[in-house]
Structure 1
Amino acid sequence: MQQSSTRYLLFFQYLGSKYSGVMKAPAHQPLLGVQNHLENAVRRLKPVNEVLVSISSRTDTGVHALCNSAHVDIQRRGDKPPFTEQVLTDALNFLLKPEPIRITRAYRVRSDFHARYRALSRTYVYRLTTGIRHPSELPVTEKDLCWTLGDMELDISAMKKAAAVLMGTHDFSTFRALSSDAPFKNPVKTMEVVQMQPGLSFSQRHFHRDVQFWELTFQSRSFLYKQVRRMVGALVAVGRGKLSVAQIQVLLDARDSTAYPQNIAAPACGLFLINVEYDSSDLMP
């Protein structure tokens, strides 16, 4: 008797530096997406069905994740029972071993569960460093994992005031980079968390005590294309004295992507997706 397919929710992490982003890229491209590697690993488990890994949260080239998520259907041959969550996690990690991609958890979920649309919130952290005269002085353990701002003092108080302006429900059109699907996405988002606090680093704690790390945290149900990087860039501009807190409000009120100042968006390397949250009832099939 042929088993029906089983849907799994996968939580996974990756270093984004060597990928075109999390989404699948054409096979002929020199850089593949994380999704390409996830689907290839599932195919090596030899399911009967066509393999499609549905990603919950898009991240771009160079952006990292400590916790992204996706769902996938797996139908085994003949009368083989469904994989247990632990067996599936271990098998995929074995098959992904050459890549900086790891499955952290797997859950069996209902057949109509959708990783993207059932997500309650997404949380991003952006990492900054100050106290370094030149990027070449960045500790090797932090390479491609933070934005190095040089040997400068940031006005942290002003940055926190500007962050407060972004809290709550607003039209974030100014903080959206233009993309092909931009006109079809609602620009009104609710920022549940926008905060700045000192960060921690192994290298800072043990070897590089003059390096200061900062973390900017953003939580919302969803985000616009490159919204976090553009918000971070604007907050850093405030910290550097290039923008005022009042100008952040002006940018927000403009509701126009072209009003965003040129060349201030934060680079991808410091951005981490750290959590995708679901209702606990969704994790029980």
Structure 2
Amino acid sequence: MRNWARYLIFFQYIGTKYSGAAKGPPHQLVRKGVQDHLEDAIRRLRPVNPVSLYISSRTDTGVHALSNSAHFDLQRRGDKPPFTENVLVEALNFHLRTEQIRITSAHHVSDDFHARFHAQSRTYVYRVALGTPHHTELPLTDFNLCWNLCNTELDVGAMREAAALLVGTHDFSSFRAVSSDMASKNPVKTLDAVNIQPGSSFAHAHFHREIPLWELTFRSRSFLYKQVRRMTGALVAVGQGRLSVPQLKDVLQARDTLAYPQGLAAPPQGLFLTKVDYRETDLQLPHQMSEEQLPTSAP
């Protein structure tokens, strides 16, 4: 009996104390990445093979996720069969119990599946709380989970007008931060949707006062480094009257990271990765697929 399998896992985390989703630098022993802890948990299952986790979406330091994903191979000793999906989730969560990281589901996938390259879209939500000049005015359930602003109101109409300029296929060079792999990353991305809707505090029904909260939702197949935080910062600046809609358009059309106004990017704590989408057929093993579900050679 085959004793190894490839798994896709979905996981959530509060990113406050982690250096991001990916592994932390080797010299950084205190603040590790979420991947470090996930790989430690997998090693505790005593696989025969070296553990390598491939994460679909590399969130930054302080950014959270309600649904990130990753794949890995696991070979068990001797003739032990692969873990069932439910047992794998329970076992990994047992070893992660001291961390703010939890596995939400697992899928046994085909040998050629890749968590990053098979992802069809990623959805991020950014939470903005109004009328809270200092973070201590937030309920504890929202502490480090939103961007608190002094403003009691935002011009949401102008923000939506500006957001419409970002939707579609553009060179988003102005909205990416400088990184070591800039030269190898194509700045042209297709932003499928930007929605700006009222949100609420996690404790809105019980807190002593109501806190106005807005959620900015972004969906695309992929994003550039810090693109969502930069877009959020620019849209909030439009809502505050610090940036006009034509000025935001000029920033986009400049296609230059230096065209983005300094200090405008939104902080990391309000950002959540909420969804990574895959085709249903990619989450099934070949023997689980009916003839009707099998992909054809023609487009």
When the two structures are superposed, what TM-score results if normalisation uses the length of structure 1? 0.97
How far apart, in 2, do the equivalents of 1:156 and 1:32 lie? 38
Match of 2:16 in 1: 17
Match of 1:5 in 2: 4
Give 3-state SS (helix, strand or coil) of 2:86's partner: helix
Give 3-state SS (helix, strand or coil) of 1:206's partner: coil
Cα offset for 1:153? 1.7
Give 3-state SS (helix, strand or coil) of 2:205's partner: helix
Asked if 2 retains the 8 angstrom alpha-carbon contact of 1:139 and 1:208, the reply is no
Q: Does 1:230 align with 2:240?
A: no
Matches within 5 A, 1:174-185: 174-185=174-185
The one-character-per-residue Cα deviations of 1:96-155 (angstroms, maximum 9, x if unpaired) are 000010000000001110000000000000000002243221111111000001143211
How far apart, in 1, do the equivalents of 2:64 and 2:259 lie? 28
Give 3-state SS (helix, strand or coil) of 1:46's partner: coil
How far apart, in 2, do the equivalents of 1:26 and 1:130 lie? 36
Counterparts in 2 of 1:149 and 1:169: CA distance versus 1, 3 Å:
same
Q: Which amino acid aligns with 1:126?
A: Y
How far apart, in 2, do the equivalents of 1:108 and 1:275 lie? 19
Match of 2:293 in 1: none
Matches within 5 A, 1:23-102: 23-29=22-28, 30-102=30-102
Cα offset for 1:4? 4.6
Give 3-state SS (helix, strand or coil) of 1:204's partner: coil
The answer to which of 21-30 and 260-269 deviates more is: 21-30
How far apart, in 2, do the equivalents of 1:252 and 1:27 lie? 36
Cα offset for 1:25? 1.5
Match of 1:186 in 2: 186
Match of 1:271 in 2: 271
How far apart, in 1, do the equivalents of 2:26 and 2:104 lie? 26
Asked if 1 retains the 8 angstrom alpha-carbon contact of 2:69 and 2:115, the reply is yes
Q: Which amino acid aligns with 1:258?
A: L
The one-character-per-residue Cα deviations of 1:192-220 (angstroms, maximum 9, x if unpaired) are 11010000223223224431010000000
Asked if 2 retains the 8 angstrom alpha-carbon contact of 1:124 and 1:271, the reply is yes
Structure 1: segments with no counterpart, 5+ residues? none
Asked if 1 retains the 8 angstrom alpha-carbon contact of 2:201 and 2:211, the reply is no
Cα offset for 1:237? 0.6
Asked if 2 retains the 8 angstrom alpha-carbon contact of 1:12 and 1:103, the reply is yes
When the two structures are superposed, what TM-score results if normalisation uses the length of structure 2? 0.93
Q: Which amino acid aligns with 1:282?
A: D
Cα offset for 1:162? 0.6
Displaced runs of 4 or more, over 3 A: none
Asked if 1 retains the 8 angstrom alpha-carbon contact of 2:56 and 2:115, the reply is yes
How far apart, in 2, do the equivalents of 1:145 and 1:46 lie? 35
Percent of matched pairs sharing the same residue: 64
Asked if 1 retains the 8 angstrom alpha-carbon contact of 2:3 and 2:79, the reply is no
Asked if 2 retains the 8 angstrom alpha-carbon contact of 1:67 and 1:276, the reply is yes
Structure 2: segments with no counterpart, 5+ residues? 286-299
How far apart, in 1, do the equivalents of 2:203 and 2:53 lie? 36
Asked if 2 retains the 8 angstrom alpha-carbon contact of 1:131 and 1:210, the reply is no
Asked if 1 retains the 8 angstrom alpha-carbon contact of 2:3 and 2:78, the reply is no
How far apart, in 2, do the equivalents of 1:81 and 1:4 lie? 5
Structure 1 vs Structure 2 CA RMSD = 1.1
Asked if 2 retains the 8 angstrom alpha-carbon contact of 1:135 and 1:150, the reply is no
Give 3-state SS (helix, strand or coil) of 1:195's partner: strand
